[in-house]
Structure 1
Amino acid sequence: MRLRHILGALLLLASLPILAREKAAAWVRVASPHFTIVSNAGAKQARHVAGQLERMRSVFQQTLSGGSADPAAPIIVLAARDDKTFRTLVPEAWLAKGQMERAGQFIRAPEKNYVLLRLDAAGENPFAAIYHEYTHILMHRTNLAVPLWLDEGTAEFYANSRIYSGEAQLGLPDRDYGGLLRRTALLPLSTLFAVDYSSPYYNEETKGSIFYAESWALTHLLMVRGFAEHPSPIQNFLNLTRSGVEPLEAARQAFGAPAQLQKDLGNYVQQGDFHFFRVKAATEVDENSFSGDVLAPGESLATLGDIMVANGRFRDARAALVEALRDDPRNADAATAMGYLELRENHLEEARRWFSEAVRLDARSTYALYYYATMLMESSEGGRPPDEVEKSLRAAIQIDPTFAPASSALATFYAQRAEKLEEAERLGARAVELDPSILAFRLNLAFVLLRRDRPGDAIRVLESALKIVKTPAETEQVNMRLESARRFQEALASRRALPPQNPEVSPPALRRHSEEISPPVLRRRSGESPPEKSGSTPAAPGKSPPARGPRDMLDGTITEVTCSLPTHMDLTLASSAGKFHLHSEDYLKVEYSAVGFEPAGELVPCTGLRGRRARVFFYDLKGRPNEGDLISVELRK
């Protein structure tokens, strides 16, 4: 029996990540005016990291011509003292043989920015990784989609900087890159411009080095060449790509003929005489003034577990968070991270329970309130979200009025309920203003505008969203919404052009694509795809459940309603797009509401819907055109 207990303890210990077992290394937290540093390298080193970031921020702030060097979301820097710690937190794909050796990672999330740093990284500039990752933060706070070569090239340009009292030297030459480029054939620019996050040139050690080096050299060349030009060639290039011009053509227009640019880059690399920028800037920072404390084990594990979740290391994250909650069952941050983990693994009921617990533990946690509300919205499955969503999101906004995700989610809540649409538009626009780099904020705002029957404005918002997409999937998502908004615009114009109709004749259908019916509420972080929904509405007895398609919406007149035991309902909606047959296994779970009027008496679905104008929400059924699973019914006057 004793041996069994010992083996069980050893198995539990083996399942924990290294960080959860290392009790000797205390984690400290240092807070400067604009950064929070969490590190296992000691308070002195953590203060130094914060000081370097504050100095770099000061330089950027003084050179941005009135712009802001502060992103909307807070910046949390996890400074790992060595490679051993660093490797327990990065994506597991980075650990595979032949992968690039990295010294830092930027993790973009709607509610926070994580920067993961390795403090023992090799190199002549010990602060290069810090400057590199901070540059990424500033690059990603804009409303521009930046190509990967320029994103990494700019980060490498500023990584090679030195900051002194009263002066900063930016874009110093990188001798390692210069040597590599002089002895290695350059990539064709067409190849360089095509590299994305899945490319071997970004991930593999043998190819990644030349990608980073050439991206740095080309950016350096263009920065120096365009120093006195306003706008600069790089800004012209970004303006062209954001307007839809293909990258090679945009480069030709902004930088000149590709063949000549390739030749110029080769000559620039070979001559080895790289210029840099000398900037007069006040950089005095008192590192000793930063507050600091030693984290309890549960506090540090909650932060580490949250980063592990963001990086997809779910097993390690769960072990760390379980340990954190064992150390302190009232740790709201650990409960929030556990909810986020369950959400990422598509365990929606467990996620909802953990977010509810996090709110109970800390009623002033904006993250917990936000995630709890979005989970409640998720559970409504396109129907009428519960009142508690509004209460939770308003509490988050009251605690932090600059917390953009809560404003965007509340705008979506009102749009889904067809309530307070003017305020919903203001909230949605505020979220975009606070953080223009988040695609979902623009999609949510477009959804609100469609609910206000303003497809033209929604189209303009979606067209602006195309300028910040970063992946083909995001481009496809926005284009689908644009197509739906344009169809809705045409249908709305046709309806308004018609003379008053006989109430027995249904007006033209105002049909929108499902994505406008189920807008994103930003419950996941950047780069994450939403998990598939678990389960579906069961089919009638004796039939295989049909595969659900996307959510959809249709306007028309309900012409037939048939109910059968126990609670089945079949509904036919007539519209200019044809007749649609909708089914519910339980009509008591369908949401019923009225817009613009108060129905007389109690509404009995089986007998009170026939002949009424309505907007219905439903799931399309794959392979069954003009059929769907009913979600909700909005009666219209």
Structure 2
Amino acid sequence: MAPGEGYQCTMGKRRNIVPMSIAHLLPRGRWLPVIFALLAGRLTAADVMIGADEKWRLLQSEHFELYSRNSEGESRRLLYNLELVHAIFFETYGFTATRVLPVTVFFFSRDRHFAAYKPESSRKLENIATFYHAEPDRGILTVAPLPSYEAAQQLAFGSYAHHLFRLMGEAPPVWYGYGISGIFRNLVINDRTLELGRPDPQQVSRLQKADLIPVETMLGSDYQAGAFSSDESNLVFHDESWAMIHYLYFGAHKLPKDGVANFISHVLNSSRNFDAATTRQVFEQQVGITYGKFNEALQRYFRSGKYGYGTKALPVVAPGKSYPMRGVSLAEIDLRLAELALRVNRSPQGKLALLRAGDRADAARIQEVLGADAMREENWDQVAERWNRAMAAGSRNPAVLRWLIENEDRQRFSRFDAYYRLPEEAAGQLRAWIALYRELAPADPLSWEVLAWVEATAEAPQIGNLNAVQKQFVSLGRKNRTLLALAWARVRLKDNAGAEEMLQTLEAQVGGTELMWTVELIRAQNEGRPPRTELLAAPGMETSTGFRPKIDRPRLRP
């Protein structure tokens, strides 16, 4: 999901609405009343941000910060249950989180305050109860006050599921993301167990009456597809996405479990480069039936299927009573609500409030927000400036740090140059950032991959760092690119035999591809000769190794 997009859930129909881009620029004229008010000295923080008062509290857990205007008991319970959802997602589906992305939850106590921060494109929609908003530096989950506290939580669970895919650095197909979100929206948490996969009677009833979307259309749909052309087809798409996931994971069918896992692995790993013919071929080979037969099976499932669900023991997470809590000052909540308004709706009032408070104690957070805002405008220089300021002010946001490291990687190491030497000051900065990032996101291989190029090009390579990269090599995603760096480092360190051994390994892996030219450039330097121009090609970059879900259905119950 791109920056500036959000998922919303509704009460009543209890469905997700298609994510929409909110990265449009507001007309200049909307700034004028704010500017004139500032000049007149009439604009205060309390005037700008609706809902700001001194009755908010901040609670923090391992994966969330929660700004709540509700009771302590409800706040702790919501936070605890969100932590359970986080744990359940990774334990149940066998995914691995490689990235760390902060999440801020706003739990409002008044409908009109929640409504003031809804995405502008959703203002006319009724019964919006929660929405998840994706930002490059953090996720934002906003929860409205509802008559039923349990209903509010269920909707929040479904919204948060979208965020969890970002922690894997992956973008799932639309149907898969909405399907998993639907599974979690119906999650039931008991005292010692949870029930995963319970059907939503309203969804089942709608599916029994609906004209279903063909499976081949579902699999290839994106946010601009015809499946979202109307409210009715949009609702069918969400319901059918849930039903496809429910059938594959919980259905009483005879489809091969390993084949289903292989197919889902394929669609997840090919979502950015979807090919309809290949997907159909993999489906028929792995699942063992045609699209037509699968459509028929889904029809039967909707009309007469037995909807099982799994019961699992609660995962172990820190109890709600252990979360630190403190009161929030009027000034602090005003800035957090200004941040929310800017992130979701590009609010000029919100941006002005943040700009005016740039030298406050929480300057790091403010620079993070302003950097994310610059990213929506694709002002990359300003993003780098804002986020460098955030780091200088003490930020420990892993997403900000990751972008800065990636940005340096792109600018300095995207093309191989045998004569390039990384300045010592830049090398020291990158080593410090990488060390901090390893502390904050130890499962992300990016730090080791970039460290290899830092040492390969540094004026004074640190052999200890090169050895550390080699120890982590098996777990890396971009192995070939990293091996190029390690080979080049050995050339520079006069380990000609070691360099040639690595180059031969690379040659076996990338022979006939664009990376062979980089292999030849390094080998020519290692052998002290000009490169063979017949191998000339632009060096390419690798893609990620992908991920495979675990299809391990829990014990089913009728």
Same-fold call, TM cutoff 0.5: yes
Higher relative contact order (CA 8 A, sep 6+): 2
The one-letter amino acid paired with 1:162 is V
Aligned partner of 2:53 among 24, 27, 50: 24
Q: 2:373: which partner in 1?
A: 341
Q: 1:79: which partner in 2?
A: 106
In the alignment, is residue 37 of structure 1 matched against residue 74 of structure 2?
no
In the alignment, is residue 485 of structure 1 matched against residue 515 of structure 2?
yes
Question: Take 1:108 and 1:6, find their aligned partners in 2: how far apart are those partners?
Answer: 27
Aligned partner of 2:238 among 212, 236, 248: 212
Question: Take 1:20 and 1:408, find their aligned partners in 2: how far apart are those partners?
Answer: 43
Give 3-state SS (helix, strand or coil) of 1:73's partner. Answer: coil
The one-letter amino acid paired with 2:312 is V
Question: Take 1:68 and 1:301, find their aligned partners in 2: how far apart are those partners?
Answer: 37
Contact kept, 8 Å, 2:338 with 2:350, in 1: the verdict is: yes
Give 3-state SS (helix, strand or coil) of 2:514's partner. Answer: helix
Question: Take 2:312 and 2:178, find their aligned partners in 1: how far apart are those partners?
Answer: 22
Q: 1:176 to 1:71 in 2, by over 3 A?
A: farther
Q: 2:181: which partner in 1?
A: 155
In the alignment, is residue 248 of structure 1 matched against residue 285 of structure 2?
no
Structure 1 or 2: more strand by fraction: 1
Question: Take 1:146 and 1:334, find their aligned partners in 2: how far apart are those partners?
Answer: 31
Identity of aligned residues (%): 17
How much does 1:226 deviate?
6.5
Contact kept, 8 Å, 1:78 with 1:115, in 2: the verdict is: yes
Deviations 1:502-524 (A, max 9, x none): x7x764376453666xx99xxxx
Q: 1:196: which partner in 2?
A: 222
Contact kept, 8 Å, 2:129 with 2:152, in 1: the verdict is: no
How much does 1:291 deviate?
0.8
Q: 1:392: which partner in 2?
A: 429
Q: 2:131: which partner in 1?
A: 104
How much does 1:153 deviate?
0.8
Give 3-state SS (helix, strand or coil) of 1:103's partner. Answer: strand
Deviations 1:324-367 (A, max 9, x none): 426x2652221233244345535455445434433443276666
Q: 1:258: which partner in 2?
A: 291
Scaled by the length of structure 1, the TM-score of the pair is 0.60
Question: Take 1:311 and 1:428, find their aligned partners in 2: how far apart are those partners?
Answer: 43
How much does 1:138 deviate?
4.4
The one-letter amino acid paired with 1:95 is S
| Rg larger in structure | 1
Q: 1:51 to 1:363 in 2, by over 3 A?
A: closer
Matches within 5 A, 1:335-374: 335-347=367-379, 350-362=382-394
Question: Take 1:444 and 1:90, find their aligned partners in 2: how far apart are those partners?
Answer: 43
Matches within 5 A, 1:224-303: 224-225=250-251, 231-241=257-267, 242=269, 246-255=278-287, 256-271=289-304, 273-281=306-314, 286-296=319-329, 299-300=332-333
Q: 1:606: which partner in 2?
A: none
Question: Take 1:492 and 1:182, find their aligned partners in 2: how far apart are those partners?
Answer: 63
CA RMSD of aligned residues (A): 5.0
How much does 1:166 deviate?
1.8
Q: 1:176: which partner in 2?
A: 202
Q: 1:433 to 1:207 in 2, by over 3 A?
A: farther
**Unmatched segments (≥5 aa) in structure 1:** 464-481, 521-637
Matched residues, number: 481
Question: Take 1:152 and 1:320, find their aligned partners in 2: how far apart are those partners?
Answer: 35
Matches within 5 A, 1:234-633: 234-241=260-267, 242=269, 246-255=278-287, 256-271=289-304, 273-281=306-314, 286-296=319-329, 299-300=332-333, 313=346, 315=348, 318-325=351-358, 328=360, 331-347=363-379, 350-362=382-394, 384-399=421-436, 401-403=439-441, 404=444, 406-415=447-456, 417=458, 420=461, 423=465, 427=469, 433=475, 445=482, 448=485, 483-486=513-516, 488=518, 491=520, 507-508=532-533, 511-513=536-538
Contact kept, 8 Å, 2:517 with 2:539, in 1: the verdict is: no
Q: 1:562: which partner in 2?
A: none
Aligned partner of 1:95 among 122, 126, 140: 122
Deviations 1:597-618 (A, max 9, x none): xxxxxxxxxxxxxxxxxxxxxx
Contact kept, 8 Å, 1:301 with 1:323, in 2: the verdict is: no
Contact kept, 8 Å, 2:56 with 2:333, in 1: the verdict is: yes
Scaled by the length of structure 2, the TM-score of the pair is 0.67
Q: 1:9: which partner in 2?
A: 38
How much does 1:154 deviate?
1.9
Q: 1:495 to 1:276 in 2, by over 3 A?
A: same
Deviations 1:358-399 (A, max 9, x none): 344327666666666666777779765543333333334444
Contact kept, 8 Å, 2:524 with 2:531, in 1: the verdict is: no
How much does 1:235 deviate?
0.9
Question: Take 1:339 and 1:89, find their aligned partners in 2: how far apart are those partners?
Answer: 20
Question: Take 2:307 and 2:101, find their aligned partners in 1: how far apart are those partners?
Answer: 35
Q: 2:75: which partner in 1?
A: 46
Q: 1:412 to 1:492 in 2, by over 3 A?
A: closer
How much does 1:269 deviate?
1.1
Question: Take 2:127 and 2:141, find their aligned partners in 1: how far apart are those partners?
Answer: 16
The one-letter amino acid paired with 2:233 is K
Contact kept, 8 Å, 1:306 with 1:337, in 2: the verdict is: yes
How much does 1:253 deviate?
2.8
How much does 1:71 deviate?
5.5
